[in-house]
Amino acid sequence: MGVVESLTPAEWAKQLANPEGEIGLAVIERVYESNAKSSLGEVAKLALGPGSRVLEIGFGNGRMAPHVIGQAEGVSYAGLDYSPTMVAEAERFNAALVAKGRASFHLGSAEHMPFPRSSFDCVFSVGAAHFWPAPNLALSEIRRVLRLGGRSLMGCLHPLTAPPFARPENGFYLREAEEWNALHQAAGFVGVQVETIETEQIGAAGTLVKRYILKIDGRA
């Protein structure tokens, strides 16, 4: 049995919420391998244009950065994550892009972003919004760092099929579609659309399980 398979559901959940050390790297690599197809599909839907400035919140091991940058000429990428382990791994994996000034990775939280107002044309997150204890603060910050008319695209667990360990004591804060819609509108987003999508995700035992996720799309 590998180190990932030996984790209890609660340990697995806590590593998903805040990956640490070699175990955190192994967990996030397993998740990336399982969910790469669906994550790449969501990145493709960003439909970025030349020169777009993009922020990813909760970038994990940083594997999405090259795919974002490769969408159009002159795309610049910034990532924000509150795991020092993930920041170090993303910088290692994307060292060439960082050296060229095409990508940067920052330690911090969605509630307190180290970026000026109107810094980005697009902000996206895949699998991080359900870790926000104060989504009103995070969404206000996303709205602040987006230019007028900029796009926000979030994907997170739906409470309907979330694993039983996805609870606040393990770092998960699950919300229904109606609440996400209301939170986005309260933060000043317009044209908000919330969609339920069926997908497959990796379970705590390393097996694929069917899940529903929520996709929230809005404009600043």
Look up the CATH number of the domain holding residue 180: 3.40.50.150
Question: What is the identity of the amino acid at 114?
Answer: P
What confidence tier does 35 reach under pLDDT thresholds 50, 70, 90? confident
Q: Report the mean per-residue pLDDT for the chain.
A: 91
Confidence check: pLDDT of 204 > 60: no
Question: Into how many domains does the chain fold?
Answer: 1
Give the structural domain span for 92. 3-219
Query: Measured on CA atoms in the order 184, 186, 189, 193, is the torsion positive or negative?
Result: positive
pTM summary value: 0.92
pLDDT confidence of residue 202: 63
Q: In what order do the strands lie in the sheet with 146-157?
A: 103-107, 76-81, 53-57, 120-126, 146-157, 208-219, 190-202
What confidence tier does 2 reach under pLDDT thresholds 50, 70, 90? low
Most confident of 1-5, 31-35, 99-103, 161-165: 99-103
Integer Cα distance of 212 and 220 in angstroms:
26
Residue 107 dihedral angles phi and psi, to the nearest 5°: -90, 125
